[in-house]
A and B are shown apart, each in its own frame.
Chain A
Amino acid sequence: MDLFANLAHGFGVAFSPINLLMCLIGALVGTLVGVLPGIGTIATVAMLLPITFGLPPVGALIMLAGIYYGAQYGGSTTSILVNIPGEATSVVTALDGHQMAKQGRAGPALAIAAIGSFFAGCVATVLIAVLGAPLTKLALAFGPAEYFSLMVLGLIFAVVLAKGSVLKAIAMIVLGLLLSMVGSDIETGASRMAFNIPELADGLGFATVAMGVFGFAEIIRNLDFGAEMNRNLVQQKITGLMPTRKDLIDSAPAIGRGTVLGSILGILPGGGAVIASFAAYTLEKKIAKNPSRFGRGAIEGVAAPESANNAAAQTSFIPLLTLGIPPNAVMALMVGAMTIHGIVPGPQVMQKQPDLVWGMIASMWIGNLMLIIINLPLVGIWVRLLRVPYRLMFPSIVIFCAIGIYSVNNAPVDVILAGVFGLVGYWLIKHDFEPAPLLLGMVLGPLMEENLRRALLISRGDWSVFVTRPLSAVLLAIAAGLLVLAVLPSLRAKRDEVFTESES
């Protein structure tokens, strides 16, 4: 079997001492930063991106993947203990998790979150391995027209599955596309919108914009809240980590349902982990015999969204590894990291660099195992970290980010640009624009332009190529259908209902 040979190869790579170490460090550092209240997954990955630049590509990506799910796990710890969800994916975990913590059951809540995440991680790892090869074959049949249509579909998915106004999300994507045009044109070499500034000739650095819009902007935004940040921390000592038998029996089916839902939603480009956790929570509440328990410390309300977001976080690697298209902002950052290491993501990566792909997939499983082993005993440390006041934390993060950005190119201008984008991000938040689609647009911009150009060149300028090639036509039709559905009042109400869960 190809599948087992591939996985075995992957485990061979991932079990090398150096890669195990990278995975461990990634998971630990990711959790460490992810635990800090007010810093989401995207911000964590963006901030820690520079520390992986000095490593060999395989190690760097394994570490980044570790940072990603570490951050996600750290985020749920924070939302259970402090009721400040560090990120959108753990908003719903905070609802019941924090109630459990208040009732003195923080230990079981954290344990169930870890166990659920681990189970979901195992399933998702197998799923990636199973779906990886066939999807890669499909991707090889794609021409430029299909690729362009697929990216349009991905962006539309991102809009439909995101929170808030559809129009605003599309505007953010287009702004991202526009920003990606700054710098030299790939084909003609002409300098575009660079105003003769030499540092802009290479284009806006991806890490720079991400760190500005997510890192600095979130810090500035959090400063608005001031002292309110630390109010809700559960004060009593956490005792009895192990869940009772009843907890396990109650949460087992919820974990299963969350995993299935998360795996499916994760593969879809766009929302991924965020929508998965919301949807899983809504589903549990709908099918529960006694829905009124939710919001008052129901363990299913922790188990389902946590498994769902972890499953989705992992399966969202599938479009990235097979098609080379990042389905969400974190994956967009992974593309940025790959490009810096000279790897062009896409179907050819799986064939040319099996070490990288399968090593990363295997390391995900190992990383999840590590998380469950390390984090439960370390909960005490994370709690102490939560007590660090924000007034000391935020200047530290500013300096850390500034050094990180400077170290990418040794360019002071990059630091200033990141600061500018920090203010831009602050403005965007104030006007209720989501910055995640912007990042996605920025990564997909050059790819979209290149494929659009090539498709039109091959068709000799005939735009109908996008609807006459069957695959491309199907993709575009789905995209158009989704967009229509998203603006239809009935579906829109449904979509809002899923997201309003957090406000009840």
Chain B
Amino acid sequence: MADTMGHTASTTPDASTTRNTSVALGIVVLAVAPQIFELVWSLGTVVGLGAGRTPLSALAAHAMALLLAFPSIVAKTALSPDSLLALIYSYPLFAIAILTLFVKIRAPQDYIGGIVLMAVALFALWASSDLQGMHGFSFGAGTAPRMFGVLLVALGAGIALTGLLTDGAGLSHYSWRGPLFVAAAIVFFALAIRPLGLIVTAFSSFLIAAVGSYETKWIETIIVGACLTLGCAILFPYILGLPMPMFPRFLIQ
């Protein structure tokens, strides 16, 4: 933390331009993040997992949408959801990324925080774009989400603007080990609880999460993990009456 702060304070003009380019690049990636996410997701269809478009058709559709969304609005043709995504979400963020190159960021923490909030709000605006708006004086399903979405875009812009106008904190240091292994433990738990049951899952997740700290000592971790697993196996299903599978499915059958 202290290290990062010192770094921001001593940035030369040269270093700050490279910083801006990387921030702008980050925003560009953010701008196409939903498209990339769908592409990665659609890779599952290749091996027969999940439903949705194939990678190629998704790629083609999004590329078309990103390139042609603007002309099609002029031509007043009906807009596909992909073009709407490009128009509502990606284009504004591209614009912000370009703007970023020309400004001096005085509080990166606020600037980036505000822009990510704007991105979330724009995405919500796109996600609620298929909903019905006001009819007469009664609210449609889409009215409130759009209202709050627009409000959040404005607030995000405001926060980003304070990051340009006032000096403030730099980006704080992110560690990767804790978040990665805690998240891995959670994902493993979610995937394994149904097929493997509580005992195996809880114990393995405990060990995965324990990797997240540099200070883990394995023998005591295994002992504590076993005790905790046993405790939870008694507490949740029996004392609290919340039923859940205990043993791996293949052992029971």
Chain A interface residues toward B at CB < 8 A: 50-51, 53-54, 165, 167-168, 170-171, 174-175, 177-178, 181, 185, 187-188, 190, 192-193, 195, 216, 219-220, 223-224, 226-227, 389-392, 394-396, 398-400, 402-403, 406-407, 410, 412-413, 415-416, 418-419, 422-423, 426-427, 430-433, 449, 452-453, 456-457, 460-462
Are B139 and A452 in touch, CB under 8 angstroms? yes
The tally of CB-CB contacts under 8 A between chains A and B is: 208
Is B13 located at the chain interface by the 8 A CB criterion? no
Query: In the bound complex, what is the Cα–Cα distance between A398 and B174 (angstroms)?
Result: 20
Are A195 and B224 in touch, CB under 8 angstroms? no
User: Which of B60-68, B89-97, B128-136 forms contacts with chain A?
Assistant: B128-136
Query: In the bound complex, what is the Cα–Cα distance between A418 and B177 (angstroms)?
Result: 19
> With contacts A395-B210, A398-B186, A403-B198 known, is A410 near B215, CB below 8 A?
no
Most buried by A among B132, B139, B216, B232: B139
Contacts of B110 on A, CB cut-off 8 Å? Answer: 431-432
User: Which of B15-23, B70-78, B98-106, B240-248 forms contacts with chain A?
Assistant: B240-248
Known: A216-B186, A391-B213. 19 other contacts (CB 8 A): A165-B162, A171-B158, A175-B117, A178-B149, A187-B139, A188-B140, A190-B141, A193-B128, A219-B178, A220-B179, A223-B178, A394-B212, A395-B221, A399-B189, A399-B205, A419-B182, A430-B172, A453-B144, A461-B136
Contacts of A171 on B, CB cut-off 8 Å? Answer: 114, 117, 152, 155-156, 158-159
Query: In the bound complex, what is the Cα–Cα distance between A400 and B224 (angstroms)?
Result: 13
Is B191 located at the chain interface by the 8 A CB criterion? yes
Are B242 and A407 in touch, CB under 8 angstroms? yes
Contacts of A167 on B, CB cut-off 8 Å? Answer: 155, 158-159, 162
Q: List 29 interface pairs A-B (beta carbons < 8 Å), by A numbering.
A: A53-B240, A54-B241, A165-B159, A171-B155, A171-B159, A175-B152, A178-B145, A178-B152, A181-B145, A187-B139, A190-B142, A192-B131, A192-B142, A193-B145, A223-B175, A223-B178, A224-B175, A391-B210, A399-B209, A403-B198, A403-B202, A403-B244, A415-B193, A422-B182, A430-B172, A430-B174, A431-B110, A432-B169, A449-B144
Query: In the bound complex, what is the Cα–Cα distance between A186 and B149 (angstroms)?
Result: 19
Contacts of A406 on B, CB cut-off 8 Å? Answer: 189-190, 193, 244
Are A185 and B141 in touch, CB under 8 angstroms? yes
| CB neighbors of A among B213-241 (8 A) | 213-217, 220-221, 224-225, 228-229, 232, 235-236, 240-241
CB-CB nearest in chain A for B138? A457
Query: In the bound complex, what is the Cα–Cα distance between A390 and B216 (angstroms)?
Result: 10
- Choice from A174, A389, A431 contacting B113 with Cβ under 8 Å: A431
Chain B binding site: helix, strand, loop or mixed by DSSP? helix
Most buried by A among B148, B156, B173, B215: B148
Contacts of A188 on B, CB cut-off 8 Å? Answer: 132, 140-141
> With contacts A398-B205, A403-B236, A415-B186 known, is A223 near B193, CB below 8 A?
no
- Choice from B109, B186, B212 contacting A432 with Cβ under 8 Å: B109
**How far apart are B128's CB and chain A's nearest CB, in angstroms?**
6
Q: Sorted from nearest, which 4 A-B pairs have the closest CB atoms? A: A461-B137, A223-B178, A419-B186, A431-B113
Are B112 and A431 in touch, CB under 8 angstroms? yes
Query: In the bound complex, what is the Cα–Cα distance between A410 and B242 (angstroms)?
Result: 9
Contacts of B193 on A, CB cut-off 8 Å? Answer: 406, 412, 415
